[in-house]
Amino acid sequence: MNKFLTTTAVIALALAGAHVSARAADVKEVQMLHWWTSGGEAAALNVLKEDLSKEGFAWKDVPVAGGGGDAAMTALKAMVAAGTYPTASQMLGYTVLDYAEAGVMGDLTETAKKEGWDKSVPAALQKFSVYDGKWVAAPVNVHSVNWLWINKAVMDKIGGSEPKTFDDLIALLDKAKAAGVIPLALGGQNWQEATMFDSIVLSTGGPEFYKKAFNDLDEEALKSETMKKSFDNLAKIVKYVDPNFSGRDWNLATAMVIKGDALVQVMGDWAKGEFVAAKKTPDTDFLCYRFPGTDGSVIYNSDMFGMFNVPDDRKAAQVALATATLSKSFQSAFNVVKGSVPARTDVPDTDFDACGKKGIADLKAANEGGTLFGSLAQGYGAPPAIANAYKDVVSKFVHGQIKSSDEAVTQLVQAIDDAR
Amino acid sequence: MSTVATTDPVLTPGQASGISLRSRLQDALPKIVLAPSFVITLIFVYGFIVWTAYLSFTNSKTFPSYQLTGARAYQRLWRWTFESDPPSSWYTSITNMAIFGFLYVGICLALGLLLAILLDQKIRGEGLLRPIFLYPMALSFIVTGVAWKWFLDPGLGLEQTLHHFGWTSFHFDWIKNKDFVIYTVVIAGVWQASGFVMAMFLAGLRGIDGEIMKAAQIDGASPLQLYRRIVIPLLRPIFLSAFIVLAHMAIKSYDLVVALTSGGPGGSAWLPSNFMYEYTFKRNEMAVGSASAIIMLMTISAIIVPYLYSELKEKAR
């Protein structure tokens, strides 16, 4: 078996073109694989590096070229197969569970008990950071997906107000259209379309329905009239997109709202990072509302540091990393910059801006009310095979390969069934 | 030679074995030098082909699994090929491959030949024109893709520019259109490779014996007849090598699709290579990805093997 794994490692390495050297690890060093390379993200990570250096641990980035995480995940696969585990790696949702199932994750339960993570980290996140009763990952943040980002100047110009229902939103988009502004900024990539559809399903069917359909993958729910209605609503809202949207990156869509070319974008709170980077402030330059009809619920994704099964002499560095990651000071400092909210519900919101404060309050309420759901589009609703099958269907519907909502529902059920 | 002559008459046993060792070494040297690369190729090409074929019959997901579970992956691909409306990603990929492969190879050959024939008319400035046509080949598919992405984008490139100059009725949005996006991949691919094909044909044209041409001209052949009956048939080997080069470039073009279209609206620009990468590495469905890779391999073999066979047979004759 080991020989096979080594072979796997060699082929994966060759395919990824990643150069990961299997060198002896320094025990006073934290080896970290991540794809946070943009200015804000790197600055946010520096906080963690400094925290660790105070305790005498050096920081070593495992080099991975290419953003977005795909290249990093391929390199990680190769490293793990070769048995040279990094101390920790940035991971998303079901990936953590995949690796835990493969038996390569470490065990941080002792630290977790001592630090009281069980109580402070929302149960929905624990589903991904705890495997088989053991803590295997440290959540870094919570992004929530069901937001509207609105340019305030444009909103004032067209005389709009916060949309409370889906129909309000359509009326607002109509107003923008009449005023000659692009109503909806959307990037025509499948994950962006599916991210928006996550919100539409929650808005159309309510929290119970979202959970049943997109977290439990209940076939009745997936086939239901409500799901058809969600696709109809998607068709309605897509009409407000400019004709040139296909293939556009999400940050370019955000830039359209920032510049006032477009009124609104439906996007996760990483969009706030773009507004902040453009020196815009909430409530004066831009507005953040929950997607109409989803107030009180949060569709989330979360960045996690997956902790690998390192030898005992490197364990101290790993524990230090995990403790620092979940410390209140780091959670606050990091998430102020990143645009997300802390992964524990007991962090004070003093340093956050208006949208951040709202995000923290919403997360707390959703956690207590049981309305915190993993985003299917972002890999927290189901494993990658299913999440991607879902994104395919939504994207084909948006771009007209699938023509009716009946057809879309049939396709969705079949695609999810295939990928199971 | 003189040294051989002087040592020839009396050979001590030591000398004899020395020479035979040397000559044996000389005989073995090519094999010794070739052995590592032979082994590496054997393992990393053919070994992994076998490995991939094995994986396609397992239930491998994120990591390879070695438990055989039958041809489920192939059944899925098969069903996706014939039983799905709207077309599945796999169906889209293989029809795109047919469209792209046929047009890309066909247009490149035709355009390359035409350019070569025109350049061969002893025109002035050939030295300048040749590299201009050839240089797109020096760019990677990624660069070509990004450049053409901007050029074809209705909001940035051609359409916007012509609107700016006053031709506001001009409309060209293929790159954003699910039905036409694959043709933009053909455009960018042809732009890149036709100059290279031209260079191959030009070399071939220059290699044709002038005497034959003169003889044909004396016999009263028109230029058109000259090319149709003599030049183009003589270029047959060049056609074949150009075809092989273009065909394998068409089959492996993954990066062009990604850079130019990022997969196209709703995945409508996918080629089988995109499908294979997506399923194997992004969707953690290694078995399905492997099955698609094996089908690609079989398709290529179906084209290449008969060709190689006929070529080798001809050589042997």
> Does residue B176 belong to the interface with chain A, where contact is any CB pair within 8 Å?
yes
Label residue A40 by pLDDT band (50, 70, 90).
Answer: low
Any CB–CB contact under 8 A between A344 and chain B? no
Chain B CA closest to residue A102? B63
Element (H, E) at A395: helix A384-398
Which of the pair, B143 or A41, is modelled with greater confidence?
A: B143
A-proximal residues of B, 82-111, CB under 8 Å = 86-87, 89
All residues at 6 or more sequence positions from B87 whose CB lies less than 8 Å from its CB, including other chains: A401, B95
Determine the average pLDDT of the residues in B188-210.
91
- Please give the structure tokens belonging to residue B91: 């169906």
The verdict on a CB contact (< 8 Å) between B265 and A384 is no
**pLDDT of A305 above 50:** yes
Buried b (16+ CB within 10 A) or exposed e, B213-224: beebeeeebeee
Asked if A73's CB is within 8 angstroms of B265's CB, the reply is no
Letter string b/e over residues A215-247, b meaning 16 or more CB atoms within 10 A of that residue's CB: bebeeebbebebbbebbebbbebbebbbebbbb
Q: Given this model, what pLDDT does residue B301 score?
A: 86
Q: How confident is the model at residue A22 (pLDDT cuts 50, 70, 90)?
A: very low
Query: Is-cis flag, bond preceding B86, omega within 30?
Result: yes
Say whether residue B267 is in contact with chain A using an 8 A CB cutoff.
yes
pLDDT category, A164, cuts 50, 70, 90?
A: very high
Instruction: Give the CA diameter of chain A.
Output: 68
Q: With an 8 Å Cβ cutoff, is B255 touching chain A?
A: no
User: Cβ of B62 under 8 Å from any chain A Cβ?
Assistant: yes
End-to-end CA distance of chain A: 26
Cβ proximity of A400 and A182 under 8 Å:
no
Q: Are A142 and A340 in contact (CB under 8 A)?
A: yes
**What per-residue confidence (pLDDT) applies to A175?**
92
Instruction: Note the pLDDT of residue A66.
Output: 54
Max alpha carbon distance in chain B (Å)? 96
In eight-state DSSP terms, residue B226 is I
Written as six digits, the tokens of B89 are 């990603």
Q: Is there a contact between B201 and B237 (Cβ–Cβ < 8 Å)?
A: no
Q: How confident is the model at residue B271 (pLDDT cuts 50, 70, 90)?
A: very high
Q: Up-side HSE of residue A210: CA atoms within 13 Å toward CB? A: 27
Q: At which residue do the structure tokens 């259109």 appear?
A: B177
Of B153, B178, B262, the CB nearest to A399: B178
Task: Mark yes or no for CB contact A4/B278 under 8 Å.
Answer: no
> Which of B44 and B7 is assigned the larger pLDDT?
B44
Any idea which of A102-106, B54-58, B63-67, B98-102 has the lowest mean pLDDT?
Answer: B63-67
Nearest CB to A401; choose among B61, B263, B266: B266
Residue A21 confidence (pLDDT)? 42
Q: Where are the alpha helices (DSSP H) in chain B?
A: 2-7, 13-41, 48-55, 72-82, 89-119, 126-134, 141-152, 158-164, 181-206, 210-218, 223-225, 232-234, 236-252, 255-261, 272-277, 286-316
Residue A55 has pLDDT above 90, yes or no: no
Cβ separation of A243 and B283 shorter than 8 Å? no
Span A312-331, mean pLDDT?
89
DSSP string, B262-309: TT-GGGTT--HHHHHHIIIIIS--HHHHHHHHHHHHHHHHHHHHHHHH
Q: What is the pLDDT of residues A225-272, one digit of tens each?
A: 999 999 999 999 999 999 888 888 888 899 999 999 999 999 998 888
Minimum Cα–Cα distance from B282: chain A residue:
A70
pLDDT attached to residue A137: 93
Report which secondary-structure segment, H or E, holds A89. strand A88-92
Q: What is the pLDDT of residue A288?
A: 92
pLDDT reading at A336 higher than 50: yes
Check CB contact under 8 Å for A401 and B262: no
Look at A388 and B261 and tell me if their CB atoms are within 8 Å.
Answer: no
Is residue A20 pLDDT above 60, yes or no?
A: no
Helix (H, G, I), strand (E, B) or coil at A135: strand
Residues within 8 A of B (CB atoms), A 53-82 only: 70, 73-74, 77, 81
Please give the residue that has the higher pLDDT: either A276 or B51.
B51
| A412 contacts A340 by C-beta, under 8 angstroms | no
Is a pLDDT exceeding 80 seen at residue A141?
Answer: yes
CB atoms within 10 A of CB B169: 6
Q: Report the pLDDT value the prediction gives residue A68, as an integer from 0 to 100.
A: 60
Residues of A in contact with B173 (CB under 8 A): 243-244
C-alpha distance from residue B248 to each of B94, B162, B184, B237, B256 (Å)? 15, 36, 19, 17, 14
Q: Assess whether pLDDT exceeds 60 at residue A5.
A: no
- Which whole-number Å values give the CA distances from A42 to A167, A169, A327, A334, A344, in the listed order? 40, 36, 18, 10, 22
> Does residue A166 have a pLDDT over 80?
yes
Examine the pLDDT at A78 and tell me if it is beyond 80.
yes
Chain A residues closer than 8 Å to B87 by CB: 401
Cβ B221 vs Cβ B141: under 8 Å: no
- In DSSP notation, B229-255 reads IIIHHHTHHHHHHHHHHHHHHHHH--H
Query: E strand or H helix at A231, and its extent?
Result: helix A225-238
Q: Indicate whether A200 pLDDT > 90.
A: yes
Beta carbons of A353 and A287 less than 8 angstroms apart: no
**Number of inter-chain CB pairs under 8 A, A vs B:** 88
Contacts of B153 in chain A (CB under 8 A): 244
Q: How far apart are CA A341 and CA A346, in angstroms?
A: 11
pLDDT at B2: 43
Q: Which of A193, A250, A399, A411 to probe by mutation at the B interface, max B CB count within 10 Å?
A: A399
Please determine, for residue A53, whether its predicted confidence score (pLDDT) is greater than 50.
Answer: yes
- Spell out which residues of chain A touch residue B268, defining contact as CB-CB under 8 Å: 399, 401
Q: Give chain B's length.
A: 317
Asked if the Cβ–Cβ distance from A385 to B178 is below 8 Å, we say no
Is residue A387's pLDDT more than 50? yes
Contacts of B212 (CB under 8 A, 6+ apart): B230
> CA-CA distance, A192 to B21, in Å (whole number)?
70
**ipTM of this predicted structure:** 0.78
For residue A391, which residues of chain B lie inside 8 Å, CB to CB? none
Burial of B232 from C-beta contacts in 10 A (0-12 / 13-18 / 19+): middle
Residue A393 and residue A227 in contact, taking contact as beta carbons nearer than 8 Å:
no
